[in-house]
Structures are given as structure tokens and as C-alpha cells.
Amino acid sequence: MALLNQYHKPATIAEAIQLLGRTETRLVPLAGGSRLIGELETRVRRDVDGVVDLSGLGLSYIRAQDDELCIGAMTTISDLIAHPVAGDLAGGILRRVARYEGPVNLRNAATLGGLVAAAEADSELYAALLALDTSVVYDGGPHPQPLSQRTGRGEPESVDDPTPLSEKNGPERAAEELPSLYEAAVKEAPKTLDTLPPLSHQTGRGAGGEGLLTTEIRIPLRPLTSGHARIARTPMDRPIVAAVAVSGDGIERVVLCGVAAHPILDGEAMEPVSDFKGSAEYRREMAAVVRRRALVEAKGG
């Protein structure tokens, strides 16, 4: 059982921000707890003195406002995809990719705010949000920040397909290289996908200027079509690499998973790592494959 010295349940966003801004103690936000509780129970995280429970802030809602869909940060993944408007966006892309975030029990607990804060490298739902030009409201403020500004980095890089490895040989070769890849992953643990820290734990102001607390996610309501392609060890595994594409209304956008510390827009610098799922070379070359497939589907091919 996790041992915590403090538990706070604020009634207002202002109170939550004040608690998270304290410097004399290490407090972190508790949303759905699907990730944090496990990290505390297993002692993966030892840098926490207490939690700030966000369940009393009234941040679980989905409502259409003008030309946007406004979603409270405490809205669960299950509630998101069950909503008639959110679930059908861009041909149902959110509903389609959400099942890969984990089993239904996890989706019933995990919140959209927590998913955005974690920005996990292989999160296809995060990739879909990025493809849909989602923006994020911090600290209940009036000015949303584009999700693309929060995750964008590096010099542009092309993922045009040179002569890729065959998809059949890729996993087989990765399996053959498993011992050496595992040793390399352990040796360079801070650089591997599974051990990279989240982009923001929402406990302090980040490099992108975001605030202390994610309070709302906003998705533009546009007539888009979508495409999705993935390569994984089994059909329901988290992906080795994946791509989400949207097209229409003058927009064509592709987001890649599994080739950097977090999902990235097509054209941003890829920094794939080698681990037990596949080599960096395999990830880089398969990114071109899934990119092409997702884009073809999004364009109706």
C-alpha cells in the first residue's frame, strides 16, 4: 500500500493550484489514478509526499460550444468515446483508437487530463487528439494552448518510404536481436520508451509555459475523415509504431507514435529507441509504412 503523508481534496480550481504550487512539500494531482496509484503502490515513484484529489472540481463534462467540443479534464476515456459527438468525430477516430489504451476497467478510470499530461510515446488516443488539432486549457484560464505547441520539438524530418524492411521480417529480426536489444535498453534505461518520464506531471510550470493543472481539452468541430494504421506484437498490444491521419476542410495531418518520447506530428524529428519490441531502425522504417497507410485511408483510398 502506498504511504502518503498528505491528502487534499480541494473544492475549487484556485485551491488546487495553490496546493500544487507549494514548494515545501511534494504534492501531485490525483485524477483517475490509473497510473499514479500503481506507481505509488510499487514504489516506482518515491518523490511524492501527498496527493491533490481533483474529483471535487466539477471537471467531468462534455459540451459543444460554438465550433468546439469542450471536455473537462476529469472526463474518463470511456465517457469520451460514449459521447455521441466526441465518439463520432472524424469518422469515429477517438472511439477506434481508445480501445488500445488498455482494458475497459482502465478506460473507466483513466481521465483525458491524465492522458494528456502523460503524453505516452505509444498512446494512439493522444495521437488522435493531436491530429484533431486539440488545445488545452490550464488553470481554468481563458487562453487555450495548442497541443502541438506542447509536444512539438526538433528539426523537421522526412518519413518518406525509402526501401523499408519487410513487415514480416521486422518483428522476426527484433526477436532474434532480443538479448542484445534488452541489454542495450537496460544499459540506457533513461532513454527507453517505457522509462521516459511524462512530458509534464502537472506539478510545476513546464518548458512550454503550461500551468499547474490541466482543466479542459478543446477539440475543433470540423468535417474530417480519418485513417489509422499500427504495427504491434499482437492485435491488442500497445503499438510498436502507429499513425493517425485526418483529412478534409483544407487539412491534412498525420501523427506518429513510437518514434519519439511522445507522439509527434509528421515532419518532426524522430528519436526512436531500441527495446524488446524492435530496433530503432525498424521503428523508423515502419513509421513510413503506417504513415502511408493511415493517410491513404483518411483520403478515402
Per-residue pLDDT reduced to its tens digit, 268-291: 999 999 999 999 999 999 999 999
Instruction: State how beta strands 50-53 and 214-220 pair.
Output: unpaired
Q: What per-residue confidence (pLDDT) applies to 203?
A: 36
The ranges assigned to domains in the chain are 6-53, 62-298
* Mean predicted lDDT score pLDDT of the chain: 81
Q: Is the pLDDT of residue 5 over 70?
A: yes
Place of cell 509527434: 264
pLDDT grade, residue 260 (50/70/90)?
very high
Strand boundaries in 111-150, DSSP class E: 135-138, 145-146
- Phi first, then psi, for residue 36 (nearest 5°) are -60, -45
3-state secondary structure of 62: strand
- For residues 129-147, give the mean pLDDT: 91
Residue 47's CB: how many other CB atoms inside 10 A? Answer: 8
pLDDT grade, residue 27 (50/70/90)?
confident
Q: What class is the 62-298 domain?
A: alpha beta
- For residues 211-237, give the mean pLDDT: 93
Q: What class is the 6-53 domain?
A: alpha beta
3-state secondary structure of 72: strand
Dist CA 245 CA 243 (whole Å): 7
Place of cell 499514479: 36
- For residues 185-211, give the mean pLDDT: 38
Q: How far, in Å, are 6, 49, 199, 214 from residue 22 at the CA level? A: 13, 12, 20, 17
